[in-house]
Each structure stands twice: as structure tokens, then as C-alpha cells.
Amino acid sequence: MIRPILRLGLALALAFGGVALMAGYWAVVRQADLLERADNPRRLLLERRFPRGTIYDRAGAVLAESRGAPGDYTRYYPYPALAPVLGYVSPQYGTAGVEAAADEALHGDENGEAWTRWWRDALGLPRTGRAVQLTLDLNLQQLADAALGDRAGAVVLLEAETGEILALATHPTFDPNTLDENWESLVADAGAPLLNRATFALYQPGGALQPALLGAALQARLADLDTVYEVEGALALEAGLTLACRQAPNLSALTLQEALRLGCPGPFAELGQRLGALRLEQLFTDLRLLEAPDIGLPTAAAAPDFSDPAALAAGQGSLTITPLHLALVTAALTQRGELPAPILLRAVAGPAGEWQPVPATDHGVAVFAPETAETIKQLLRLGHSAEALSGRAGRRLAWFTGFAPLDDTRFVVTVMLEDGDSAAVRQIGQALLVEAVLTAP
């Protein structure tokens, strides 16, 4: 009976070895993706014991913090309107927004060895979530939110040179403090309050990109400001829609300069035809409209086809953009053609509480020649208003993008209203620019 016993021993040894290997597989190889699963409550349980990092605006105002006593911390958002930007941490619905983008720092993950982390946990040394500083300015943010009010739309206010985002408003919004209670109704809401319209919603640009098109045409020497175009009524679009000039012209022939001011789509459609698909694709690529900006938050970009350059140039083709895209394009025109890279996460608190700047993941690129950019900038002294028709029903969107001050421009704003109120977008944009200039340090 020796042989059967030895063979049984060998079989059992192999089986024990297999179980050991499999345990190692789950504990080491698959560890990271298992722990990231939304049905793993351990991370959030830990945050009830150790506070999650605080989120500050650029001046040190608290935007999100953990309140309570050890064992019973809860997340509190003193300024709920920022919810689509800041996001939430929910044991049931996961994390979103800045809470998700900066989760490693806020939760207090370190790059240390597993051993040091185990030692810290074994000794019960407090693990501290690290604070995070955003580029937002709470004062300007509040103003933007108040200006949008109950309207569906978005506001982006940038520091033109650095690309730092000073205000990022999107409405309708929600209260992250009561997220778990209201989740069902928030998800079902036709107004999509969970959606960040400023960075993640793609809109038809309409005439909003006309300044950039004009710049491209000047640079390609295909046109100059005084090239005359016939205006034959409204521009016919797909599905029987028509887009007319924003302000009716007195004449039937306009220079490009006048067409830009009056928001006439016809001349720009023709210009698009002249530029051609290749140059348009080059322009949109240079302006980085075809890529999602990297600001940590979820962002979006369209992948248009270039078969119809006229429609694309009229802003009614397959190119759609986010309000953040447009703000960056305007910033490029004010910065001698230099397109800035947007920044939202400004700094993370170091071990001793000192602010460590978040290294830039991206850098600016030159899009226009400085003199071209300057020429266009002079045409946009009062900002640029535009209209777009969205969807098959032709819902009217209103855009405004502007900058201040005129010389040494520091601030760029983009406002978009889904109700198409062109007077309101200009008003909101200009009010924000004035406030930004007045309160600028």
C-alpha cells in the first residue's frame, strides 16, 4: 500500500499548492482591480474612521470637508451648487467629479511600500487624507451660479495665460449632501442635473467658432477682412432648418468683418468651402477641439467627419464642442495665438501640510501667428455672440465668449444657455468679466 499512499500524498500536495497559488492570484495579481470594484465598501468604511482630505478653492475657502468624530465622519459640501464639478463620494453610487479625480490624494493613499502601509495600519497610526486645492475662485463661482439661476446652461471663466479655471458653473445642479436619498429622482430627471455641461456636454457651436475660422482664413491668405460676400437670406441646413444672421444686415453684400459682427452664417459657410476639409481638420486639431481636455474631470470631444466643410464652418456640421473648448479657443486669440492647457487641480497638500503644485499634464501650443491673433482680438473687443441650432428640432442655443481687459488680457469667459437667450449670455459674461477684473489681486 506504499505506492497508493505516496501518490495520494503527491495529489494532495499539488492540490494544496494550487489553492495557495490561487490565493496569491486574488491577493496580489488581481488585488488592484478587485479593490476598485464599486461593491467593495472597505475604502469608504475607512473614511468613516479617518477624515478624507478637504477640497479648497484657490483662496482657501472650503468646498468639501469631512465632518464628525472618528468612526463617524461624513462628507459635507458647504456650497452644493458646485456638485457637478466636485462630485460626490457615496458608498452606494461610487465617486465622481473632483472627488474621483483626486481620490488617491483625498483618501490618503501613499506610494509607500505595502509593508510600511501595513505597519501604519497595524499600529493604528492615523492615515490622513491630503487636502486638495482647486483653481476655482469661490467668489466668481458664486456669481456665475447666481447668474445662471434656474436656466440650463454653463459658464467657464479662465485665466487666459495659464489656463487656470476660475469658475465652472453648470445648471441645473444638485445637492451632493443628500445624494443617497435623492439618487433615483436625480437619475430620472430629464434636466440631467448630474451632467457637467461645461466639460462633458457636447453642443453645436453655430457661429461661436467664427473668429477662429476667420483667423485660419487670414493666415492661409484665402481672404482678408474686407473680402465681400453675398448674403442671400438664411442658410439652409439639414432637416429643413434654416439659420439666419443673428442681426439682420442692411445690405445684401457684407465684408467678413461685418459678417462676424452680425453673426451671418452664409459667408462663413462659403469660407469653409474655400478652406476645404483638410485645412478645417488641421484648424480643429490645432485648436484641440477633437480631443477631450485633460483636467481630471470627465471631459468630452467630438469625432466629426469632414465631408461637408460648409456645414462645419457654419458650426452646424458634425463638430460639437463643450463650453470649455470655446473658452480655450478665445484664450488663444487673446494670448498671441497661444492655446493654453486648462488646469483645475492646482495643488495637493504634502505630508507637512505645505502645498505641492500639481505638475502640469499638458502644455500650451501655438495655433495662430501673433499678428493674426491680434487682428481677430481687435474685432472681438466687445466679445463674440453666436447662435446655434441644436438637434432635429432646431432648438436654439446662445453662446457668448469674451475677454478682459483689452490690453494684457487676463480673463476669458464663455457662457452657453440652452434656452437661446442671446441678451442674457452677453450680460452674464460681461458681468463676470467686470467682477473678475475688479476683484483681481
Given the rule CB under 8 A, which residues bind other proteins? Answer: 1-9, 12-13, 15-16, 18-20, 22-24, 26-28, 30-31, 34-35, 37, 39-42, 45, 49, 70-71, 114-115, 118, 121-126
- Judged by DSSP in three states, 155 sits in strand
106's enclosing H/E stretch is helix 103-107
Distance of closest approach, residue 26 Cβ to other proteins, in angstroms: 4
> Collapsing DSSP states into helix, strand and coil, what is residue 340?
coil
Q: Is the peptide bond before 405 cis (omega within 30 degrees of 0)?
A: yes
Helices 323-334 and 370-379, axial angle in degrees (round to 10) = 110
For the CB of residue 55, give the shortest distance to other proteins in the complex, in Å: 23
Nearer to other proteins, 49 or 67 (CB): 49
Cell of 225: 477682412
CB of 348 to other proteins, least distance (A): 23
Which of 125, 188 has the CB closer to other proteins? 125
Taking the least distance from each CB to other proteins, the nearer of 6 and 360 is: 6
C-alpha–C-alpha distance, residues 35 and 282, integer Å = 43
CB of 349 to other proteins, least distance (A): 20
Q: Name the residue nearer to other proteins (CB basis): 48 or 246.
A: 48
Q: How far is the CB of 46 from other proteins (least distance, A)?
A: 8
Residue 6 or 406 having the CB closest to other proteins: 6
Please, which residue, 91 or 364, has the CB nearer to other proteins? 91
Angle at alpha carbon of residue 310, lines to 309 and 311, rounded to 5°: 95
Contact assessment for residue 98 and residue 296, using Cβ atoms and an 8 Å cutoff: yes
Q: What cell does 323 get?
A: 463650453
Question: What is the smallest separation between the CB atom of 102 and other proteins, expressed in angstroms?
Answer: 22
Q: Where are the beta strands (DSSP E) in 273-393?
A: 338-339, 345-349, 355-357, 365-366, 384-390
